[in-house]
Amino acid sequence: MKDETGEILTLDNVAAYLKVGKRTVYRLAAAKKIPAFKVGGTWRFSRTDIDIWIKQQSMEGLNASRADNTAKNPGK
């Protein structure tokens, strides 16, 4: 299996990886909502950072869901 540590992805790569549009990835990067950096004016992404970001987003979603359920069902 290929060692993907340190792999750098393009905007197109990340869009395909996340299964979203290129415009969505661009907006997230420009708003600093996804880990990214520019090389010569072109967005680049670290695969490791993207994977960590995905896990963080998943955990935030779980925590928000749990908080919502607790608010709806106090004492349970």
- pLDDT of residue 1 exceeding 60, the answer is no
In the chain, domain spans: 8-72
How is domain 8-72 classified at the CATH fold level?
Answer: Multidrug-efflux Transporter Regulator; Chain: A; Domain 2 (1.10.1660)
Q: What is the pTM of this model?
A: 0.76
- pLDDT of residue 61 exceeding 70, the answer is yes
* CA atoms of 31 and 5, how far apart (whole Å): 25
Say which amino acid occupies 14: V
Question: What rounded mean pLDDT belongs to the chain?
Answer: 87
Confidence bin at 46 (pLDDT 50/70/90): very high
